[in-house]
Amino acid sequence: MTLPLEGLPTAVRIHEVGPRDGLQNEKATVPTAVKAEFIQRLADAGLRTIEATSFVHPRWVPQLADAERLVPLLGGVEARLPVLVPNERGLERALALGVREIAVFGSATESFAKANLNRTVDESLAMFEPVVARARAAGASVRGYLSMCFGDPWEGPVPVGRAAAVARRLFDLGCDELSLGDTIGVATPGHVVALLSALDIPVGHLAVHFHDTYGQALSNTLAALRQGVRTVDASAGGLGGCPYAKSATGNLATEDLVWMLDGLGVETGVDLARLTATSLWMADHLGRPSPSRTVRAFSRKD
């Protein structure tokens, strides 16, 4: 049954992060051909933005060491296929393969900037500046991820003013879109509203990226949508975590998001049955069940 609520958009763009953020922390290597098929299946289910991989050094994220082999396999996929790049060298590798949508990954806190990038917040922004400039000069669009916007495993709750200030600095480097990350899943709706209200960035350039550690990802998403956000990050099957923040559990499951939005009459373009089948297929490859409640509910119907 579809029962809309006031104050919600008519459509939402889902930024699917399963192939990159979802798989990056898997210990067992997923074959490149399986990753390529995963991305194709996600596109076939109606997802039109699928973050494919990362051009980080293989030593840091071994699961994504096959980026150069994966990207050429995706030529027939009818979707936007952005990739994450950590620095200028990563950008060079991506551009050489014809990639024209990239993302950089910063932090609102000093502790996570050190853990993830071995740099301070200021140093990391300085590192991103030439990356963004070179990407834009090459005709590529740029997404900025800002992690630890709500809480940090070492520093605790993150003040709204600090997150807003770093967000503005990252966006001002030249990002087309800025994704606000609740990396360890501690946000609640009031905190989400407070941060979005504090930002002086046009809401059309914002996305949200919630983890479901305390079961708040969907309620936080609903709060963000009511503030005007129209782009939501999610991971098929709820895959994912963060290799540099051990308390980070899985991302918001794309199926759970689509179930909620379908019920609210918000268009996503995603076929939930096909998406669920894709996540069950990937769960079989990973050898464990999907944490998505919607995937589990659909599987019990069969």
175 is catalytic: no
What count of other Cβ atoms lies within 10 Å of the Cβ of residue 168?
Answer: 14
- Of residues 42, 192, 242, 266, which has the active-site annotation? 242
DSSP-derived secondary structure letter, 22? I
Question: Do the Cβ atoms of 186 and 158 come closer than 8 Å?
Answer: no
How many whole angstroms separate alpha carbon 13 and alpha carbon 15? 6
**Is 151 exposed, middle or buried (CB count within 10 Å of its CB: 0-12, 13-18, 19+)?**
buried
What count of other Cβ atoms lies within 10 Å of the Cβ of residue 162?
Answer: 16
Burial 226-261 (b: 16+ CB within 10 A, else e): bbebbbbbbbbbbbbbbebbeebbbbbbbbbbbbbb
Residues labelled as active-site residues: 242
